[in-house]
Amino acid sequence: MPSLNDYLILSAVLFTIGTAGVFVRRNLITILLSIEIMLNAVNLSFVAFGRAFGTVEGQIIVFFVMTVAAAEAAVGLAIVIALFRHRESLNPDAFTALKW
Amino acid sequence: MLFYFFGALAVIASLLVIAQRNPVYSVLLLITSFGALSGLYVLLDAPFAAAIQIIVYAGAIMVLFLFVVMLLNTPHEDTDADEKTHPMLRPGPMRFGAAMAVALLGELAWALSRSGPTSTFSNTPVTSLSAIGYTLFTDYAFQFEVTSVLILVAMVGAVLMARREDQPGEKR
């Protein structure tokens, strides 16, 4: 039977993978996907804490995190589409000017 | 036992997400990872979280990602240097970022190792959907309404930013 610590360690590992993805990858889509990995790692720890304390708030905050993730994905992908239309590139290094 | 299966599946799929060149494969692997996380939510007696994980995350958000990836149609990263090297083996700030991520994992593991023995979930779980709904619409009703405003703003912003600017001389 896994304990709370096991779930928190798994959550930490997933969060680290997401952080490494944001740092290492040079592709805007993959960076957004890495942010989704990080949000899900946090969701896992919220659910584990809610289960450990026997409260319902753990699942409710997962609901709110998912709405924020949906909004972030929609706006982020719209920005990616607008940037791609200007530069024909998904590399963040291509977007160094504030105006073009 | 199931915990280790789902946990290993989530970790491996997430690692492959950031190691893939093709964003389509990344999105599909991330859906696999979300499925494993949904199984973990079921193990944690949270069927509501498991269901919305599949329906909203894997079903809606990831399909939005997949749609944009296929719309942009860029199966590979751009520059020749990026094409030649594997994403995990690039020099400079990226390697530094990977080292910082490992340091973050070390810090989190150190913090968790000092927390002492923890419970193995002896409380009675809250699994009923009616209890979740009751709390959501009484204690968190204001936050719920604010969330709807957030979604509206995000929708308007996404439409505004992704809109193609009108060409000069072209009629609307």
User: A14 to chain B nearest CA, in Å?
Assistant: 6
Distance from CA of B171 to the nearest CA of A (A): 21
> What is this structure's pTM?
0.87
Residue A95's alpha-carbon distances to A37, A49, B18, in angstroms, are 24, 40, 21
**Residues found in chain B:** 172
Q: Mark which residues 38-77 of A lie under 8 Å from B by CB.
A: 40, 43-44, 47-48, 50-60, 62-64, 66-75, 77
Q: What is the DSSP letter of B58?
A: I
How far is CA B134 from each of CA A60, A68, B128, rounded to the nearest angstrom?
Answer: 11, 21, 10
Q: How far apart are CA B119 and CA B104, in angstroms?
A: 25
d(CA A66, CA B49): 10
Alpha-carbon dihedral sign for residues B18, B23, B25, B26: positive
Q: Which residue in this structure is represented by tokens 């791609």?
A: A84
Are the CB atoms for A48 and A11 separated by under 8 Å? yes
| Fold of the CATH domain A4-95 | Helix Hairpins (1.10.287)
B167 pLDDT tier (thresholds 50, 70, 90): low
Nearest-Cα distance to chain B for A99, in Å, is: 15
Confidence of residue B172 (pLDDT cuts 50, 70, 90): very low
Average pLDDT value over all residues in chain B? 83
B136 and A30 in contact by Cβ < 8 A?
no
Q: How far is CA B63 from the centre of its chain?
A: 12
Q: Which of B104, B124, B157 sits opposite A78 (nearest CB)?
A: B157
Half-sphere exposure of A34 (CA within 13 A, CB side): 23
| ipTM metric | 0.90
Given this model, what pLDDT does residue A62 score? 93
Chain A neighbors of B30, CB-CB under 8 A: 33, 36-37
Q: Do A43 and B105 make contact, defined as CB atoms within 8 angstroms? A: no
Q: State what percent of residues in chain B have pLDDT above 70.
A: 80
Tell me how far apart the alpha carbons of residues B45 and B2 are, in angstroms, rounded to a whole number: 13
Determine the residue type at A96: T
Chain A residues with CB inside 8 Å of B75's CB?
A: none
* Long-range contacts (CB closer than 8 Å, 24 or more residues apart) made by B58-64: B58/B31, B58/B34, B60/A70, B61/A36, B61/A69, B61/A70, B61/A73, B62/B27, B62/B30, B62/B31, B62/B34, B64/A73, B64/A74, B64/A77
